Amino acid sequence: MADLTFRNAVAADIPALVALVTSAYRGDTSRAGWTTEADILDGNRIDPDVLATDLSRPRSRVLLAERAGALLACAHVAEEDGAGYFGMFAVQPGLQGGGIGKQLLSECERIARTEWQLPCMRMQVIDLRDTLIAFYERRGYRRTGIYKPFPYGDERFGQPKRDDLRFELLEKPLPMETAA
């Protein structure tokens, strides 16, 4: 996949980003991929106003993966509390499992490690998502046992179909590369 390119999102990309992230996680369209949350959540996956804030704050990027100008995947990488933060990770459902997401995750880790000199990358994952957590564990992330509550009642992040949702913090060290 040498023809995959990365670029930082701009405000004009927000409608396409909302559509991509929604298609990867919510509704029947998401069932074409393996990252669907359709059985546990309805409604929004990302709020356009939250996304605009992410685009405008320092040391925060929404990275787009494209091929021939077509949006295939996206992720948010930022600095939070002295560490890298990875989120809003989405790949078009029909393209999931083809390596695009792995390349995008690696690029986000590179930004946090080499451009921002951050010691680790963190993310929050709904702890019921065993397959997704296993994906991250294969890439060096570990479960921390630190949990955060799901934002029940805030429809910007979806409409839960269950009352037992919570996030677990995953973390991966990002060792600095040394000169050979």
Average pLDDT over residues 59-75: 96
Among 36-40, 63-67, 109-113, name the one with the lowest average pLDDT: 36-40
Max Cα-Cα span within the chain:
52
What 159-162 contacts at long range (C-beta under 8 Å, 24+ apart), as own/partner pairs, is 159/41, 159/42, 159/43, 160/40, 160/41, 161/39, 161/40, 161/41, 161/42, 162/40, 162/128
Residue range 156-166, pLDDT digits in tens: 778 889 999 99
Q: Is it the case that residue 155 has pLDDT exceeding 70?
A: yes
3-state helix/strand/coil string of 66-127 = EECCEEEEEEEEEEECCEEEEEEEEECHHHCCCCHHHHHHHHHHHHHHHHCCCCEEEEEEEC
DSSP state of 144: E
Q: Which pLDDT value is given to residue 179? A: 54
pTM for this predicted structure = 0.91
**Higher-scoring residue by pLDDT: 71, 36:** 71
Rounded CA gap, 154 and 160, in Å?
Answer: 10
Strand partners, 148: 167
Mean pLDDT confidence for 15-21: 94
Residue 45, pLDDT > 90, answer no
Structure tokens at 120: 């680790």
Lowest mean pLDDT among 18-32, 71-85, 117-131, 133-147: 18-32
Decide if pLDDT at 35 tops 90: no
Count Cβ atoms within 10 A of the Cβ of residue 29 and give its class: 0-12 exposed, 13-18 middle, 19 or more buried. Answer: middle
Q: Give SS3 for 177.
A: coil
Query: Tens digit of pLDDT for each residue in 75-113?
Result: 999 999 999 999 999 999 999 999 999 999 999 999 999
Q: What is the per-residue pLDDT for 41? A: 85
pLDDT at 178: 60
CATH architecture for residues 4-173: 3-Layer(aba) Sandwich (3.40)
